[in-house]
Amino acid sequence: MSTYRTAIMRYEGPLDSVRKAIDASGGLSHLSTGAKVCIKPNIVFWSRSVPFPKWGVITTSRVVEDVVVLLKERGIDDITIVEGTVTMDPKDRATPAHAFQSLGYEKLRDRYGIKYYSIFERPFRKMDIGEDIVLNFNKDAVESDFIIDLPVLKTHNQTKVSLGIKNLKGLLDINSRKKCHSADPVKDLNFMVSRLPVAMPPIFTLIDGIYSNERGPSFDGKIRRKNLLIASNDVLSADLVGAKVLGFDPADVPHLVHAAGRQRRPLDLSDIEIIGEKIDDVSSPHGYDFAYSETENGIMPLPLARQGIKGLAYHKYDLSMCTYCSGLNGLVLTAIRGAWQGKPWDRVEILTGKKMKPTAGMNKTILLGKCMHQANKDDPNIKELFAVKGCPPKAEDIVKALHWAGIEVNASLFDQIDQLPGFFMQRYENKPQYEEAHFTIL
């Protein structure tokens, strides 16, 4: 049986900690001078309107620069950073540019000669990942000699964990990302994500666990200071170890089960040689899920049920709800909570994703997003319908739909969607363990 070396190292300071993790895992030892290397950080979301709460959400600039320095030491000059940051307007080019500038990538370019791109301004290449699945991947990544995958140590409300394999989804064009959120009960999101490494050149994974994110992947999660780095030349091994550090049995993480099964690998880490810290010494439980409640008055997230909201069915998101609708989901629920005045609504049902079906006996049905409209526009269980058809839905259309249903949400909340991260950032103000310096290139 092959043994896959994976390092778990404490993060103690710039450069040396990353160097120890890479050296212990043997991560860059085989790279030759002249290799074309592509770095894939995780910049899942960004806002230009407020200082963004980056901790546990975005790969630290500290780790990115340290990796660049160590590549340069090995004589590697062809270094490209690529990322496909989610924006609510798919044509938005200013937000990714602002993220790169704010995170110091311009300084990395000027200092080390690296290149950096938003993948949506670059060409894509069709790649067959097996099982009759073809997706469009960023060409810079798939045509490089080597990928350095820099995910954050975090959970995910759909895939349970978002580590090295899941981070590769940020290399897909928008249509391919939506395709991953299939309504197919077999080839679902977990199945699709598990096959993403098939399209890649060799990958070295360094999980940035300076901070971890519970109930991620974005700014509304609970951030912890962990001071860990997990490194491996095998992305599945890195993820299996990362899942354990987050408190999960890998056998309970479906996309890791798929990936291990395809490679005929055990899920118990028995073929992984762990260097450095022991998993039991650094692991801690991290929740990923959001609880929902089913009562006689409807189905809704537990906080809404506890608030006493009645006359509403807001079913739990499933794997078919793609990133773009998902980005609006929390805002819609926040607005609904603010609109509650104690009087039951008129049996309103709100459906999302691609698979949900209308419930008989509801008086008003909102189909949120193009996929829901196409799936259910003619369903006989619908008495009155408001379809928000956009992909992604427009905020003003969501407001109109909710008002039509008698849910008088504050429209200004949707006008200020870019301000929302600032609300969550307040949790970390004046707490020295959350260091802005980790996202600064001096």
> Tell me, what CATH number does 248's domain have?
3.40.50.11440
Q: Do you find a cis peptide bond into 96, omega within 30 degrees of 0?
A: no
**Tell me, what's the pLDDT at 423?**
80
Q: Give the end of a domain, one of 253, 288, 323.
A: 288
Segment-wise mean pLDDT, segments of 10 residues, the chain, 442 residues: 88 97 92 94 89 86 98 96 87 92 96 97 97 96 97 96 98 95 95 97 98 91 96 98 98 98 96 97 95 76 91 92 84 92 94 94 94 93 93 91 95 81 84 93 92
Q: For residue 87, which of 119, 114, 55 has the smallest C-alpha distance?
A: 119
Classify residue 438: in a domain, yes or no: no
**Tell me, what's the pLDDT at 30?**
85
Based on the domain organization, do 227 and 275 belong to the same domain? yes
Q: Give the end of a domain, one of 288, 303, 320.
A: 288
Classify residue 441: in a domain, yes or no: no
Indicate the number of domains in the chain.
Answer: 2
Based on the domain organization, do 283 and 310 belong to the same domain? no
Based on the domain organization, do 272 and 387 belong to the same domain? no
Classify residue 128: in a domain, yes or no: yes
Classify residue 278: in a domain, yes or no: yes
**Tell me, what's the pLDDT at 3?**
83
Classify residue 144: in a domain, yes or no: yes
Based on the domain organization, do 264 and 318 belong to the same domain? no
**Tell me, what's the pLDDT at 278?**
97
Classify residue 145: in a domain, yes or no: yes
Based on the domain organization, do 226 and 344 belong to the same domain? no
Classify residue 436: in a domain, yes or no: no
Q: Which domain holds residue 181?
A: 4-288
**Tell me, what's the pLDDT at 49?**
83
Q: Give the end of a domain, one of 262, 288, 314.
A: 288
